[in-house]
Structure 1
């Protein structure tokens, strides 16, 4: 059966709940992974999601900053949260889908919001950039991010790194810009390889084709014509799911709606 999983940095779930509802009514993913919800758990718009058919939720939120959530039309077996760098800043949540969701074999779904890193790509003078590098290092060694042989797992989220040359509008001009500096690209790649994860978006759409999921607010009027985007949002799968992602859709049109997020929904269809 196909399982549709969407990842979307929504940049405030309460502010953009109408846009989320529009997407859910149209795309109907089975599971929606949100980042940067900027919402404490007790203020999350549960009733709105329930009316849309998404009755099951796993939340890790805080007031005003960060925050991740998973909302689903199918039930979870369990959920868990990992903290990084000695902080409880709501950047990870995972769920296990199993028999209650109609799956014969369990599937673990991780949802991440990696720190953006600020503007200055120097860890000696920018504590935000240092935090980002440390976070990526911890992802590399975390046991729960190393699926065992045969274990079905998916990792999605705003990883805030565009690791490949054609994941940005201009590789040459972006080399000293946070999100595409060599050290960030190396550390994200190390984290992916350490867990044996497959960069499924690039399996289905190999380089040199450009892939973008984010367009800066600084180009509100001409974002589409200038197309200076970056691929900051990712879909990774464990080796046990190799070849089972049949489609990935980047819903670019959602960047053009009124009061958009600077990220757009990315939906993977997994044949499980």
Structure 2
């Protein structure tokens, strides 16, 4: 059973509803994690997504800021999780029930919007940066508990607001002191990944020498010409699911760059990953 996973920081789901619906029609992912939906739960546009075939929807909303939502064609149930030390709506965790001809199993789908961290990479003078570090620590603690209980079928997606690899940014040297690529953030994200042996599917399937970006600033006059991007958006899988994505090869992972030049786009583009599950 092949499942297409997707993640997208949409930067207001109501403002860009037509774009999300277009993406869903064109790509037909089974599951989509949206971040920065910027609305409360009762304001979320459930009806259009259900009409598009996404019957199962879980939302964590917040007025004007943050927010995450997971849309699924497959049955899923919400997991009681808490990651954000400040109580922001920054994640939705679900258990997805995957059933097909050769498959009858479930996995957990964790949809994250990790704090951006402000402009100054110093937790002593920047509370937003400290918040980001605390959020990463909370994630690490949560997954330590999860794996200790034998829950080892894990998928993590979302806007991590960290570009970890030197080829995840347009200039490694120029961005070393810029929040999202500082050594401290990269080190903490690497610790989270290594502690639980998560696989970053982008770097599993694409050589480290390849430049990969999923975000481009609104400040750029000609986004694609300057191409000063960063890979802030990620799809990770736990060890038991590594072979499920590895078997799909390089074509199984895709950054949908053209979405960045759609009319009034998000500054992020969606990412998809195909994963094959078998009993």
Which TM-score band applies after superposition, normalised by the shorter structure? Answer: over 0.9
Q: CA deviation at 1:89?
A: 0.6
How many residues are matched? 270
What stretches of structure 1 move > 6 A for 4+ residues in a row? none
Q: Which residue of 2 aligns with 1:232?
A: 232
Q: How does 1:71-110 map to 2 (within 5 A)?
A: 71-76=71-76, 78-98=77-97, 103-110=103-110
Give me the TM-score of the superposition, normalised by structure 1. 0.95
Partner of 1:205: 206
TM-score normalised per structure 2: 0.92
**Counterpart residue number, 2:181:** 180
State the match for 1:44 in structure 2.
44
Tell me the equivalent position of 1:13. 13
Change over 3 Å in CA distance of 1:163–1:145 after alignment to 2:
farther
Q: Are 2:69 and 1:69 equivalent residues in the alignment? A: yes
Question: 1:22 is matched with which residue?
Answer: 22
Q: Which moved more, 1:100-109 or 1:228-237?
A: 100-109
Q: Distance in 1 between matches of 2:144 and 2:14?
A: 31
SS at match of 1:4: strand
How many Å apart are 1:140 and its aligned residue? 1.7
Return 5+ residue gaps in structure 1 as ranges: none
Q: Please say if residues 10 and 266 of structure 2, whose CA atoms lie closer than 8 Å, have aligned partners that are also in contact.
A: yes
Q: Secondary structure at the match of 1:156?
A: strand
CA distance in structure 1 between the partners assigned to 2:87 and 2:231 by the alignment: 26
Q: Aligned partners of 1:49 and 1:101: how far apart in 2?
A: 23
How far does residue 143 in structure 1 lie from its aligned partner after superposition?
A: 3.7
The question of whether the paired residues in 2 share the 8 Å contact of 1:146 and 1:195 is answered with: no
Aligned-residue offset at 1:174: 0.3
**Matched residues in 1 for 2:98 and 2:268: separation?**
33
Q: Which residue of 2 aligns with 1:265?
A: 270
Q: What's the counterpart of residue 59 of structure 2?
A: 59
Q: Does 1:215 align with 2:216?
A: yes
* Distance verdict in 2 for CA 1:185–1:99, change over 3 Å: closer
Distance in structure 1 (CA, Å) of the matches to 2:64 and 2:271:
24
Assess if the C-alpha contact under 8 Å between 2:84 and 2:90 holds in 1.
no
| Superposition RMSD in Å | 1.6
Q: C-alpha separation between the residues in 2 aligned to 1:213 and 1:146?
A: 29
